[in-house]
Amino acid sequence: MPSPQAELLSGILLGQNKSLPGDFKLSLRDTSTLHIVVASGQNLSMVAGFFLSLAGLIKRRQAIILSLLAVIFYTLLTGAQVPVLRAAIMFGLASLATIFGRQKEGWWLLVVAAALMLLINPEWILDLSFQLSFLATFGVVVVAPLLLKSLDKIPFLGQDLAVTLGAQVMVAPVIAAYFHQVSLVSLVTNALILWTIPFAMILGSITLVLSFIWLGLAWIFGLAASALLTYFIYIVKFFASLPFAWEYVGEQVWLVWVGYYMVVGGIMLLLKNAQAADS
C-alpha cells in the first residue's frame, strides 16, 4: 500500500503508529482521532461500539455477541497488550450483563472490573490508557444507548453519532487534562470515519493472511482496504486543516472536571426519565 495508508493500517490493526508521518500524526491529534491508531482501550471500545450500534438493524443480543467477537479478535490481533486486555475485560463483563438481561447492572459490573484491576496494580489509576479504557467503555455501554434513542432518527449517521458522542463525552476531560487541547471537530470527524474501522480491520487481516497464500487475491482485498483508508485520511486532514479545529485548554483544578461529570450525569438522568415517561 502507499504511504500513509500502509502505516495507518498497521496502527489500526496492531497499534504500531511510530512510522506514521509527523504531519498526519498532528492531524490525528487535532481531530481527536489518535486513539484509533494506538493499542488502547478507547480504540477497542469504539470498535465494539460500532457493532453495538447495529442493534437497530439486528437483534440486540446478536449485536452484543458480534461486539464481543470483535473485542476478542482485536485483543488477540494486538498480542493481548495490557491496555487492550484491560479494556476487553471491562467491556466483556458489561456486555455479558446485557446479554443475560441485566442491563441495569452493566455499569456497576464495569466499576467492579476496574476496582479489581486496581487491586492488582493501584498505580493503573494514574495510567492514561486505563482511564481512557474505563471512561470510553462506560460511554459506549451506558451513555450511548440513552443517546441512541434520541439520535436514531438521523439517517446514516445516527447510530455512529450516538456511539461516538457517548465515548467522546466521557473521555474529553482526560484528553484535555493530558494534552491541554480540545478538538472542536472531533465529534463530526469520528462520526464520519468510525464506520470504516471494522471494515478496514477485516479487510486488512484478510489481506495479511492471503499475502502468504495468493498474492493476486490479496491485492484485491488490499485495494479495497486502501480505498477506505484513503477516505479516512482525507476526512482527518480536511477537518484538521480548519482554523477552528482545536482549542487550547490550560491547567484546571480537579473540581472543574468533577462539575463536568456532574452535569453529564444530570443530563443522562433527564434523558432516562424522559424516555421512561414516553414509554
Number of compact structural domains in the chain: 1
- Is residue 272 situated within a structural domain? no
pLDDT of residue 163: 75
Give me the domain span that covers residue 212. 5-248
pLDDT tens digit sequence for 121-147: 888 888 877 787 778 778 877 888 788
Percentage of residues of the chain with pLDDT beyond 90: 8
Crossing angle (nearest 10°) for helices 158-179 and 254-278: 170
Whole-number Å distance between alpha carbons of 34 and 193:
12
pLDDT at 238: 94
Q: What is the mean pLDDT of residues 190-219?
A: 83
Model pTM above 0.75: no
Strand pairing of 181-183 and 246-248? antiparallel
Answer yes or no: is 23 within a domain.
yes
Summarize pLDDT for 227-270 with one digit per residue, the tens.
999 999 999 999 999 988 888 877 777 778 888 889 988 888 88
pLDDT at 245: 85
The answer to whether residue 253 is domain-embedded is no
Does any domain span residue 254? no
CA angle 131, 136, 141 (to 5 degrees): 130
Q: pLDDT by residue (tens digit) across 34-71?
A: 767 765 555 566 667 667 666 666 677 777 777 788 78
The answer to whether residue 265 sits within a structural domain is: no
**Element containing residue 248 per DSSP (H, E):** strand 246-248
Handedness of CA 61, 76, 130, 44 (dihedral sign): negative
Mean pLDDT value across residues 1-12? 84
Residue 274 lies in a domain: no
Confidence of residue 279 (pLDDT cuts 50, 70, 90): low
The stretches of the chain forming alpha helices (DSSP H) are 5-14, 22-30, 41-52, 60-77, 82-99, 106-120, 128-138, 144-151, 158-179, 186-193, 196-210, 215-240, 254-278
CB of 93 within 8 A of CB of 115?
no
The answer as to whether 99 is a domain residue is yes
Q: Is residue 262 part of a domain?
A: no
Q: Please report, in angstroms and rounded to a whole number, the separation of the first and last CA atoms in the chain.
A: 51
DSSP code, position 160: H
